[in-house]
Structure 1
Amino acid sequence: MASNYTHSDCPDSISECSSTSSTSSKIKDDLLNEILMCGICLSRMTSPCCLPCAHSFCRSCLLDYAQNTTINSTTSINFIHCPYCKYQLNFRSFEHFESMLIINPILKQLCEALDASKLNNSDQQHQQHQQQQQTQSNGIYRARCHTCGLLKMLKICKHCSFMLCENCRRSHLLDVHRESKLQLNTLETRIEIINKKRLEMDKKSEEYNNIRERIQNYAQRFIHQIEQQRDQALQIINDQQNANDEMFWSGNGFDNGEKLDFFNSLLQTGQKKLFAKNITDKDLMELSDNLQTIPDINEKLIELIQFTQLMLELDETLLTKQFIRVCDTQETTKKNDNEKPTDINSQI
């Protein structure tokens, strides 16, 4: 039985298998390199450390990234964003952040194993790593852009804290510029409306001040008039009282109240002495001398004395009247409209 296998076909099959094996190995190496590549320096990770979001980077790259971010930050809170998912990691100080970075031993061993198989390229990778770190010191990183997703030289945007390439960053700043312009226009419109209404309010305040001044003037004028009437009424009473006093004392002959009081006491004393059982000659003579000083009094003239009678009239309704009224013009207008007759004939 003949076989389909020939000796001439064997080298081709071996070469094809070898080519397939090398291609597969290259694919695996590329895949491992991509997995173990630091998203900041774009080289194989050294001393890989994981963030809480599970993304790993070189320890030195994270330290430089945190230091540059802290220096350029305008806030009092220290934090960094993961270059991949933008997870925010807060920390108290740079030393605190350094203590938070724990090296992943499995990733470290895997990186070291791959580095051992490619010692010839270590110098080139080291130089590339130094160049990337030198670039990072200026605040520029080479990683995947947050917007377009391409591997480019990135710079952290201070507005949104995302790592963007130059084109995306420029486009983003243009959007920020347009948005800021729209917000400024909106603010300008609102301020114009507010200022216009504020002028209207100031005019109303000036009108209110004028009303206050009118009320004060009216009240002062009213109070002055009341006080003037009070003074006139009191003066009339005082004048009439003085006239009554003068007419009374000039008509009865005693001239004043003290003299009348003296004779009242003399009357009482004399009556007691006269009606007493024993009275001395001295007391009797003294009483007689005092009685000789009694003024001549015409009893009829005293009875004819007429005192002026005064009558008081008070307008008690002043206490129930409201002389000052302040009302809203709009409410008054509505009230007048409601009080208008609804009868068609009466309106005609």
Structure 2
Amino acid sequence: MASNYTPSESPDNISECSSTSSGSSKLKDELLNEILMCGICLSRMTSPCCLPCAHSFCRSCLLDYAQNTTINSNTPINFIMCPYCKYQLNFRSFEHFESMLIINPILKQLCEALDASKTTTYDQQQNQINGMYRARCHTCGLLKMLKICKHCAFMLCETCRRTHLLDVHRESKLQLTTLESRLESVNKKRLEMDKKAEEYDEIRQQIQTYVQRFIHEIEQQRDQALQIINERQHANDEAFWTGNGFDNGEKLDFFNSLLRTGQKKLFAKNITDKDLMDLSDNLQTIPDVNEKLIGSIQFTQLLLELDDTFANKQFIRVYDTQEISKKNDNNDQTNEMKS
């Protein structure tokens, strides 16, 4: 008797197919949940918005992320970095960033359809526990509980995060060692520079002292020369006024004007008797002048000598010790060649 039974329709095969179908459906759900999961809140995206780097996140998560980043940032430029690829998105203000977010309608419809067909599972409710999230690690790529590293802002698992922090510790230690070595050499050279600055201050003081002493000496020579001139001029004045009989310059000037006035009156066509009598009376007051004595008056002759070569002299010289050493070496070589 023929039978319609085939091996493919056996209960075992039916059960295996059912199990395979169920497993495949579960894998598809997990894949869809992973694709539609927000990388910030690690829940299924709501109002998904896509960044220029093609990674999508919830609109509310992006707004909170941008606001927290802007508040905690000390830089004048506003920006956020994609938690996945570190793409930097710059924006002028929070309102500008909000206007840049455009909801992806296809992802939105897909998320709404899945939410309507299936309620949120227990695993989705337990995504966020104590600030840790279940997603793929940025370093090892495994699906684990992750935390955002405050140093690099990547989402890392605990193992990768510890390794990363150890690397940061080692790098910081090397940088501190390098910095200590550099600062030691810089501080050593700075002490040397300060010592040279003190030596320069001493040279400045020596120059100031020398110039003051030089000025004082010149001023003394000036005062002595002026005193000699004044004494000679006083001797000439005394000899002149003592010998001519007019006593002082005002008296001499009066008789000079009297001479010119009398000559004008005498050579004039008309002269009154009174003017003639006044002129005669004034002429009677002329003192006796010994012309021979006046001719014998000798004035002191002075001769001035100035050292004009000082302009060509360099009284102060500052040498570089290296230049002196080179000059001495050249002189030694020249002497050796001559010998």
Q: Within 1, Cα distance between the matches of 2:265 and 2:238?
A: 34
Q: Within 2, Cα distance between the matches of 1:277 and 1:109?
A: 142
1:287-337 Cα distance to aligned partner (Å, 9 max, x none): 333333332322222211111110110111112222122232212322333
SS of the equivalent of 1:338 reads: helix
Structure 1 window deviating more from structure 2 (90-99 vs 326-335): it is: 90-99
Report the counterpart of residue 28 of structure 2 in structure 1.
32
SS of the equivalent of 2:207 reads: helix
Alignment of 1:15-26 (within 5 A): 15=10, 18=14, 21-22=17-18, 24-26=20-22
Structure 1 window deviating more from structure 2 (13-22 vs 140-149): it is: 13-22
Q: 2:125 aligns with which of 123, 130, 133?
A: 130
For 2:110, give the aligned amino acid: L
8 Å CA contact 1:66, 1:79 repeated in 2:
no
SS of the equivalent of 2:133 reads: strand
For 2:98, give the aligned amino acid: H
SS of the equivalent of 1:158 reads: coil
Q: 1:178 aligns with which of 154, 170, 176?
A: 170
Structure 1 window deviating more from structure 2 (268-277 vs 170-179): it is: 268-277
Report the counterpart of residue 107 of structure 1 in structure 2.
110
Q: CA RMSD in A?
A: 3.6
What's the CA shift for 1:148? Answer: 2.2
Where do 5+ consecutive residues of structure 1 fail to align?
1-5
SS of the equivalent of 2:288 reads: coil
Q: Within 1, Cα distance between the matches of 2:279 and 2:45?
A: 143
Structure 1 window deviating more from structure 2 (196-205 vs 262-271): it is: 262-271
Whether 2:154 is the aligned partner of 1:162: answer yes
Structure 1 window deviating more from structure 2 (174-183 vs 98-107): it is: 98-107
Q: Within 1, Cα distance between the matches of 2:100 and 2:234?
A: 107
Whether 2:92 is the aligned partner of 1:96: answer no
Number of residue equivalences: 326
SS of the equivalent of 2:80 reads: strand
1:176-226 Cα distance to aligned partner (Å, 9 max, x none): 112111111211211111111111111111122222222222112111211
For 1:208, give the aligned amino acid: Y
Greater relative contact order structure (CA < 8 Å, 6+ sep)? 1
Q: Within 1, Cα distance between the matches of 2:100 and 2:246?
A: 119
**TM-score, normalising length: structure 2:** 0.79
**TM-score, normalising length: structure 1:** 0.78
Quick one: structure 1 residues 110 and 22, their matched pair in 2 at CA, closer, same or farther if it must change by over 3 Å? farther
Report the counterpart of residue 136 of structure 2 in structure 1.
144
1:48-80 Cα distance to aligned partner (Å, 9 max, x none): 8363444566x4xx7457636854773264635
Report the counterpart of residue 228 of structure 2 in structure 1.
236
SS of the equivalent of 1:155 reads: strand
Where do 5+ consecutive residues of structure 2 fail to align?
none
For 2:121, give the aligned amino acid: H
Report the counterpart of residue 3 of structure 1 in structure 2.
none
8 Å CA contact 2:48, 2:108 repeated in 1:
no
1:239-277 Cα distance to aligned partner (Å, 9 max, x none): 101100100110111111222222223333444445556
Quick one: structure 1 residues 34 and 50, their matched pair in 2 at CA, closer, same or farther if it must change by over 3 Å? farther
1:82-117 Cα distance to aligned partner (Å, 9 max, x none): 44x4545667549928953434256347746xx85x
8 Å CA contact 2:79, 2:90 repeated in 1:
yes
Quick one: structure 1 residues 80 and 269, their matched pair in 2 at CA, closer, same or farther if it must change by over 3 Å? closer
Q: Within 2, Cα distance between the matches of 1:335 and 1:180?
A: 50
Q: Within 1, Cα distance between the matches of 2:228 and 2:286?
A: 35
Whether 2:333 is the aligned partner of 1:330: answer no
For 1:128, give the aligned amino acid: D
SS of the equivalent of 2:135 reads: strand
Q: Within 1, Cα distance between the matches of 2:312 and 2:42?
A: 97
For 2:9, give the aligned amino acid: I
What's the CA shift for 1:172? Answer: 1.2
